[in-house]
A and B are shown apart, each in its own frame.
Chain A
């Protein structure tokens, strides 16, 4: 099983279950693993540094270096961090279950976005900040 497939299996299990605030660190970690896959596929070593206190944000920034259109998941990464903060800072709130469920959906979106982007990488880009196919060698 590839690393991405393993992440998908875990996210599916979390989505079908009832994630709680206790799952927030794992979900943040899954987000980092998803971005590691992208950065590695670009031929780079995933950074261990943090930005704004989060490795996820640093990884996202690293992921955009060769690919401006990767910025399209910037807010998804930030929402993941935001929900992590909500769950860690206020784990006992009545809405924690719903927040954990939403954090799982956000992580799932990041997975789908990155997995899709890796699939079409050889087929060209059509995203907002795309580079044309013929310019790839420039």
Chain B
């Protein structure tokens, strides 16, 4: 995908996913108001279901493939649309994985076909729908120049470490559009969030751990390990000079926020860096109020930090 206005992405199907109705509600809220402020249309996928996330995938990956394929089937067959946007890295990853599996694996096509038939629905066919992330959406439909033209106030040099997490770009083979030359996203050093926030006036710091594991997988089995991984990310961001860590995934976001609190209580290690969704930062840069982008819903007190910098 390249920078610039692409009409195809101005009106897309929206798959918020489960997290955005719970811990990631501020991400849902800020995504919707940002889209509105930018003149973009989101049409929520009707009667959507869980993408299969980690739980279904761990028990039976083909059930996950079906669950994710159903979202794309609803997009194509119920909405008659060919682009679905998923802001959550887990959902985005799973839909991309389902697309890949259905294009390359006969057994997956068979299982999805049978399950769809059983539920009285039309099975999804690979290639019917393009799945994009919220970053792709803004980057492609508006672009950096479009953002610069719309910024009111901007981020005033706020020093930001952009954290993409592990599922946005891995494994590489399910993201054929990435690493595709000029303008495309990189799987090894993602930059779409950096590009957008820079256009909104942020100063991005060089952040070595932008795709590093946050230990989300260990949260239940070994919370201390998760806390130490997150603490290392937070400390690395601070060492890089960041005031804010920008996130683009509800799981990463809540992991960073909750383990920041836990690191202080469990290990006595306090970090000051604030964790804010990129959609919240872009909304504020466009002149939306902190409340409108749901900043009060964050655990991390980003509002005070932004106010002290004259950003909000």
Contact = CB atoms under 8 A, between A and B. Distances in A.
A123 B236 CA distance: 29
Interface string B218-242: 1001100110110011011001100
Most buried by B among A68, A78, A105, A106: A105
Nearest to A83: B208
Contacts of A129: 170-171
A75 interface: yes
B37 interface: no
Given A125-B217, A132-B57, A132-B60, A105 B209 contact: yes
A83 B208 CA distance: 9
B209 A72 contact: no
Nearest to B235: A105
A109 B188 CA distance: 17
A124 interface: yes
The interface residues of chain A, by DSSP majority, are classed as helix
A130 B225 CA distance: 19
A71 B229 contact: no
Contact of B232 (A98, A108, A134): A108
A54 interface: no
A48 to B, nearest CB: 25
B208 A106 contact: yes
Contacts of A119: 218, 221-222, 225
Contacts of B167: 128
Interface in A107-138: 108-109, 112-113, 115-116, 119-120, 123-130, 132-135
B171 A125 contact: no
A109 B171 contact: no
B111 interface: no
Contacts of B272: none
B232 A112 contact: yes
Nearest to B229: A112
Interface in B38-61: 54, 57-61
B229 A113 contact: yes
Given A79-B208, A109-B209, A128 B171 contact: yes
A112 B225 contact: yes
Interface of A: 68, 71-76, 78-79, 82-83, 98, 101-102, 105-106, 108-109, 112-113, 115-116, 119-120, 123-130, 132-135
Given A71-B170, A73-B213, A116-B226, 13 more contacts: A75-B189, A75-B210, A76-B213, A78-B188, A105-B232, A109-B229, A112-B215, A112-B225, A112-B232, A119-B225, A127-B213, A127-B217, A130-B57
